[in-house]
Structure 1
Amino acid sequence: MHERLTLPDWNELAGSDDRTLPLLGTALLIARDEYPQLDADHCDAQIQAHVDHLRAQVEALEPWPQKMAAINRHLFEEVGYAGDSEHYYDPRNSYLNEVFARRLGNPISLALVQIEVARRLGVPLDGVSFPGHFLVRLPVDDGVLVMDPFNRGRPLDEDELRQRARPHLNGETPDDRALFQILNPATHRAILMRVLRNLHGVYAERDDWERAARSADRILRLSSDNGDALRDRGLAYLKMGYKQGARTDLARYLQLNPEAQDAGPLRERLVELSSGSLRMN
């Protein structure tokens, strides 16, 4: 019988190292912020159902790329997981319970499904924090096989990877060393923080400052001195009218990043906050 899934505690995650930080459990914890009645066991059971369906087929195959092809075929062709191209920035694409229910997601949420299924089947799939769209990677004899979860796990060759990276590198094409570094496996903490950054960006764009602040706060539960998250939560607090929280976060951000490009304007805001002259807009 499959064990029940116990979600971690937000207050304990900062002290967890990347080897013990649970990927699926923390991703579902993120979703529970938005869906308090989320049934973690039901979500876990859906992953396990994919695994049970695939086990005999995957175990009969020898090379990892063939195993991965079988996993992708099941997830993307038989079950029907797909990238939500029509409503890419729908926040539901970042919440795993909604990904399971709708069979739609963004690159990183679909990668999370792939990774969890593959690893339970003994296939060492990792995430890649590639600029732009999140990818996954699988070790092969002569290097790594890189795949795009947003496009049904389609393999990507070196030329396409270089072209995809260029717009995020000031138009420069990465050389072999730079590309190798970009393709390093992402830690669990890095993956979960990217999920939360995506959510912060979506909610900030919608002027949903309470949820934007929550997303930044959750990043800080994973990495307590993350400068960007301190700034983002502080600015969201400003929009919400929570001046004390804004003052604390922005002061800490400037302490950690005194030479940041936005340090000047933020110092001015801190002075206004301290003097009580800040105008909300």
Structure 2
Amino acid sequence: MGDRLTLPSWTTLAKLDDEALPLLSTALLIARDEYPGLDVDLYDTLVQSHVEHLRTEVDAIALWPLKMAAVNRHLFDELGYAGNHDEYYDPRNSYLNEVFERRLGNPISLAMVQMEVARRLGIPLDGVSFPGHFLVRLPVDDGLLVMDPFNGGRPLGVDELRERARPHLGGELPDDRALLQILDPAPHRAILVRMLRNLHGVYADDEQWDRAARSADRILRLMPDQPEALRDRGLAYLHLEHRHGARQDLSRYLQLHPQARDAASIREQLVELSPDRSRMH
């Protein structure tokens, strides 16, 4: 038996260097907010069972792309992990315990499963914060193998990657240098923040302001003073009538980001929230 997986503490995450920030256990920490009884060891053991099933086969293969093909075949074809195309915005797609249980996820949660299994097998798989859908990348002799975890780990060619990036670049096709920049490995912190942003967006759209506030708060535990998260938590607090917290967060947002596109509307909110204003009513 290996060491038991322990969850980090929200109070220490901001101090950790990116390399020291554990991806799987922090993702399970995010899930524990919604599922307080979550059994961490159960999911760690499940990942390890995927790894042990693959180890002999993968160790016997010499080339990285073929090792990765074996991992993808097991995860997506045999075990049935899949992108939830029908209910893309279901919050369960972002909670790893649910992804493990239902074998359904969104691009970033499926990438986390893929990365965790691959890395335990010694395969240097990284995430890519690609615009639109999150992807994964593997270094190969002549460049990079880029794959789409939301669609069974399918490899993506250069032309398709350019086309996928185009709508997010004002309609321009990225040249080789721009595309390589987009395909840089995503730091662990950025991956976890993107997962929490997805959750915030789902909950805000559904007007579940307590969960929206919590998701933004968790981003701030990873990245204190992240401007958009301060704004998002402040606006959620406003809906929850936590006026003091809203005033603090929105003021700090404007202090950090005075030229923000929504600065004028945030200032209007702050006028409404001013103590003098509340006494006038």
| TM-score scaled by length of structure 1 | 0.98
Secondary structure of the residue aligned to 1:11 is coil
* Residue in 2 that maps onto 1:45: 45
Letter aligned with residue 35 of structure 1: Y
Say whether residues 1:34 and 2:43 are aligned partners.
Answer: no
Matches within 5 A, 1:13-32: 13-32=13-32
**What residue is the counterpart of 2:211 in the other structure?**
211
Name the residue aligned to 2:124.
124
Look up the SS of the partner of 2:138 in the other structure: strand
Query: Structure 1 counterpart of 2:202, which letter?
Result: V
Structure 2 partner of 1:2:
2
Aligned to 1:143: 143
Per-residue CA shift, 1:205-261, capped at 9, x if unaligned?
A: 000000000000000000001000000000000011100000000000000001111
CA-to-aligned-CA distance 1:160-195 (integer Å, 9 cap, x gap): 001001111111111111111100000000000000
SS at match of 2:214: helix
The 1-side partners of 2:35 and 2:201 are apart by 19
Q: Per the alignment, in what secondary structure is the counterpart of residue 155 of structure 2? A: strand
Structure 2 match to 1:58: 58
Distance 1:50 1:2 in 2: 15
2:79 is the alignment partner of 1:73: no
Give the letter for the 2:132 counterpart. G
Corresponding position: 1:97 with 2:111: no
Q: Which runs of 5 or more structure 2 residues have no equivalent in the other structure? A: none
Which sections of structure 1, spanning at least 5 residues, go unmatched?
A: none
Per-residue deviation at 1:276?
Answer: 5.5
- Between 232-241 and 169-178, the greater mean CA deviation after superposition: 169-178
- 1:264 is aligned to 264
> CA-to-partner distance for each residue in 1:112-140, whole Å, 9 max, x for gaps?
00000000000000000000000000000
Q: Give the secondary-structure state (helix, strand or coil) at the position aligned to 2:147.
A: strand
Measured in 2, the distance between the counterparts of 1:22 and 1:39 equals: 17
- Give the Cα–Cα distance (whole angstroms) in 2 for the partners of residues 140 and 247 of structure 1: 50
The equivalences for 1:230-241 within 5 A come to: 230-241=230-241
Q: What fraction of aligned residue pairs are identical, expressed as a percent?
A: 72
SS at match of 1:19: helix
- Give TM-score scaled by structure 2 length: 0.98
CA RMSD of aligned residues (A): 0.8
Partner residue in 1 for 2:187: 187
Q: How far did residue 263 of structure 1 move?
A: 0.9
- Tell me the amino acid that sits aligned with residue 159 of structure 2: D
Match of 1:134 in 2: 134
Given residue 117 of structure 1, which amino acid in structure 2 is its aligned partner?
V
Aligned length: 278
Q: What's the CA shift for 1:2?
A: 1.9
Range that drifts further, 269-278 or 41-50 = 269-278
**Structure 1 position 155 matched with structure 2 position 155:** yes
**For the residues of structure 1 that align with 2:264 and 2:18, how far apart are their CA atoms?**
35
Q: CA separation in 2, counterparts of 1:276 and 1:77? A: 62
2:268 is the alignment partner of 1:254: no
Amino acid at match of 2:272: E
In 2, the alpha carbon distance for the partners of 1:123 and 1:152 equals 18
The one-character-per-residue Cα deviations of 1:64-102 (angstroms, maximum 9, x if unpaired) are 000000000000001000000010100000000000100
- The alpha carbon displacement at 1:269 in A equals 1.2
Distance 1:272 1:123, change over 3 A: same
The amino acid of 1:148's aligned partner reads: D
